[in-house]
Amino acid sequence: MTTQDVRDKAHIEALANELGAHLIYDATNTGGNDGPRAQIELREVHLRPSVVDYWAALHELGHIATTELDARKIAYQYGLLGVQTVIDEARAWQWALDNANRPPDAAAKADIAISMASYFYSHATIPVADPTVAHLIRLVGPNPAIDENLDEYSRPYRDVAHDIWTRANALAGAV
């Protein structure tokens, strides 16, 4: 572990403590793409024990800090869960950026773009009327280093991610 990894891990643990969240280091149960995941109702964040994925861990803590379960229930009742899910993702990323111990580098911005593009795609919506979604798109910008930062799981999605992120930027610029 590098010195930065040690600082990152301590920062993540301090934030989790402030939120009353539990960090669970579990090599076998870390989500569909082998990355961190949050169980909001249980206030748990599951992380890989061998790797400090600082931005993803912050993002998952952001879900615990910002997700309004009542809003999700109402959205579900009215058939708007997809829109609410995208907004929840944007709010979790914004919380991560607001609570980070350093500004995002190119890799972090690419991770945000890839993550958000996947939600825009899977929920068939880019809700730029939501100020957090629009702000996050503008913050990451039109040309994140998506190609250089795609993991094996995401590589087949490269062209779609580019197209969706370009469309999101056009929409956010028009807001």
- Quote the DSSP letter at residue 44: E
Over residues 143-156, the mean pLDDT reads: 70
Q: What percent of the chain has pLDDT over 70?
A: 75
Q: Domain segments of the chain: what residues?
A: 1-66, 69-175
Q: For residues 130 and 90, is the Cβ–Cβ distance under 8 A? A: yes
Question: What confidence score (pLDDT) does residue 37 get?
Answer: 53
pLDDT at 170 over 70: yes
Q: How confident is the model at residue 145 (pLDDT cuts 50, 70, 90)?
A: confident
- Name which of 83, 62, 60, 59 is nearest 71 in CA terms: 83
* DSSP SS3 for 24: strand
Q: How confident is the model at residue 175 (pLDDT cuts 50, 70, 90)?
A: very low
- Name which of 128, 111, 134 is nearest 58 in CA terms: 111
Question: What confidence score (pLDDT) does residue 30 get?
Answer: 43
Over residues 85-97, the mean pLDDT reads: 93
Helical packing angle, 158-173 and 106-122, nearest 10°: 90
Question: What confidence score (pLDDT) does residue 33 get?
Answer: 46
Q: For residues 149 and 107, is the Cβ–Cβ distance under 8 A? A: yes
Helices (H), the chain: 3-19, 54-66, 69-77, 81-99, 106-122, 131-140, 146-149, 158-173
How far is 161 from 116, CA to CA, in rounded Å?
9
Encode pLDDT of 38-78 as tens digits.
555 566 777 766 566 888 889 989 988 887 766 667 766 66
Question: What confidence score (pLDDT) does residue 46 get?
Answer: 72
According to DSSP, the residues that pair with 45 across neighbouring strands are 23, 38
Strands 37-39 and 22-25, sheet pairing: unpaired
Q: What percent of the chain has pLDDT over 90?
A: 30
Mean pLDDT is lowest, of 10-14, 30-34, 36-40, 115-119, for 30-34
Encode pLDDT of 107-142 as tens digits.
889 889 988 998 899 888 899 999 999 999 999 988
